[in-house]
Structures are given as C-alpha cells and as structure tokens.
Structure 1
Amino acid sequence: MNAVISECGRYRYRLEHTVAMNGPVYAFFGINPSTADAILNDITVRKWIGFSKRWGASRFIVGNAFAYRSIDVKALAMVDDPYGDKIGDHTTDIINDADILIPCWGNRSKVSSKLHGVFDVLLDALVSSGKPVMHFGLTNAGDPKHPLMLGYSTPLIPWESGAA
C-alpha cells in the first residue's frame, strides 16, 4: 500500500493498494480521507479491497473531493482549507492512472452546503476523462452511493450523463 500525505500530515491526496498481479485499475472517489495511510487500513479501505478482489482488479487508487483527513466530515467546514494545496494535481493523476472511475461519496448533504459544488466539479472531471465511470447506485438525493454498507454482490452501474 502506498499513500501520498502532506508533510504536516493533515491531508491525504492519494492512497493506492495492490490486490493482484494483473487486472484493471479502479479509482474510488469519496468525500474525504479518514485514518487510512500506507500502513493502516480503515473500514472503507477494507471494503474497497473486497470489491477490487472480486472484480479481478490488479490495484485500486483512492482520491477524494477533499484531502483533509478527518473521521468526521463536518470538520471540513471548520478548517480554512479542506482541499490541501496539491489535490488538483493528484486528482488528475489518479484519473489518468486508473482504468475505471467510481464516484462513491454518498450524500453530499453530509458536508456544509458551501462545499457542495466540489462534487459537481469532480464528477465533471471524471466524465470528461473519457474513461468508464461506474457507480454502486444513487442515493435518494442523486449522489453516488458509498460502498461501506453495500454487499459485495452490488453491481457497478455505468454513469449516465445528467444522473446527479
């Protein structure tokens, strides 16, 4: 496992995990990183490992709408910079390095409304890449579901323009 974390330790820009020797590379895009790093997996990373193995992936990469590390997404509204100064470059690299892109941030209502626009910008970047964009289904609010409470039999669905 590999992680790109800021020198101050407050931001994680990228997390990467190898699960097999061959297969496609999946990229998951959540809201913000929690405690996982190059050594420690959190419960969401363990779930991504399970999905990736079942899909025959070689590895997966994790990016987020916000790079600020916190177990509470409400903290994003409390910090001066929830993004970190290198999020754009790393998001672009993750998109370029993956074969299949999966937005999975769950309901955007979990974060302050002043931060909602970032999800549309990120989704536009994913769709504009020309790569397959898939999701686990949509929440009632139209956001891509987070995988944590989903069964491993949950199918990936192709993203349709205008779905959110």
Structure 2
Amino acid sequence: MTDLITPGARPIQHRTAELSRCGRYRYRLTREWDDARPPATFVMLNPSTADADEDDPTVRRCMGFARQLGCGSLVVVNLYAWRATNPADLPADEGLRTGPDNDGWLSQSALDALDSEGPLIAAWGTRAAPRRVADVLSLPGMGRMTALAVTRAGHPGHPLYLPNGLRPMPWRPVGGVL
C-alpha cells in the first residue's frame, strides 16, 4: 500500500503525541501541515509506538487520506490507549487497555472535529469489543461518525488495508452495537 503522500506536498509543520507519564498509553497523536484547513480525526483501535517524532505505516496512511480529503492535519485517537504494535498484545483487562484518561481525549477530539467541520472517521477494524464501541459512541461529539469503508460484518475498515480514493460516509454499528 502507498501512503498517499505525494511529491511536493506540504511538509509536516507540527507534530504532537499526548502520552501518559509512564509512556504506556498514547491518548492523541497529531500531524499538521496546513493550519488553515480542518483536521481529519481518525478513531482507531489502539496506538502503536508512533510518537511525536516517529510515524508508523498506519499514521503515514492516515496522513495520506487526510491530505486526499483536503484536510490540513491529522488527529489520531483510539478506543484503547495502551500502546502495542499488535492488538493481540493488548491487556485482557478492559480498564487497563483503555487507559485512565482516554475517554476525555476521545470526546475532546470528537468535539474539536465537530467545531472545525473536519471528518471524524471510525477506523478500528474488526477487533473492537462491542461494549467498548457502544461506550465510545455515547461520548460527547461522537454522534457524527463516518468510515472510509465498512466490512461485511459492519465494522469500520482499517486505513492500512483500504484502497486510495475513498471518501468518508456516515457510519453507525449494525443494529446499534456490533
């Protein structure tokens, strides 16, 4: 998969990553290249090791989709804030993998997307616990969720595995909760 970053694209001007003191949790990651345009906010499953300095393939892919959508920045938040490259490495305990401050970051990021009129994109793939999805969708600001693609089972597609050229479409879980 290509990362959709085109030659001549504006360089990243500002990079942030909101981490817990222990570094175990990443609550929000941002990349900005044009502050005159709205952000694209992606709600993913869990963060990898990407931080304020380093990108990973998923972050690069999301930046490409954000640029393609005409956005000026990328915001990434996650259903679970526990940092793990492989979702199978997430702790079994729901509270431990979610993180103590995660819901506040999720809600604030969704409200920021609403205020800026930028897209709020569900992008966590097929591994989210239905109860967690329901909890996140009930947070302030999460009511206008979109997805770039939807699986046969109704899950929002993960950007790393999606083709170029997709546009966000309204998304709600099948039957209210997966």
State the TM bucket, normalised to the shorter chain.
0.7 to 0.9
Q: Which residue of 2 aligns with 1:40?
A: 54
Matched, 1:140 2:155: no
Counterparts of 1:1-164 in structure 2, within 5 Å, are 1-78=15-92, 81-98=96-113, 99-108=118-127, 115-125=129-139, 129=141, 132-160=144-172, 162=174
Seq. identity, %: 32
Report the AA paired with residue 96 of structure 2: D
Q: Which runs of 5+ in 2 are unaligned?
A: 1-14
CA shift for structure 1 position 161: 7.1
Q: Retained in 2: the 8 A contact 1:19–1:49? A: no
User: TM-score, structure 2 length as denominator?
Assistant: 0.79
Q: Distance in 1 between matches of 2:112 and 2:46?
A: 20
CA shift for structure 1 position 160: 5.0
Q: Distance in 2 between matches of 1:87 and 1:156?
A: 24
Q: Distance in 2 between matches of 1:53 and 1:3?
A: 19
Q: Which runs of 5+ in 1 are unaligned?
A: none
Q: Distance in 2 between matches of 1:60 and 1:120?
A: 24
Q: Which runs of 4+ in 1 moved over 4 A?
A: 160-164
User: TM-score, structure 1 length as denominator?
Assistant: 0.85
CA shift for structure 1 position 19: 2.6
Secondary structure of 1:26 counterpart: strand
Q: Retained in 2: the 8 A contact 1:2–1:37? A: yes
RMSD over aligned CA atoms reads: 2.1
Report the AA paired with residue 146 of structure 1: H
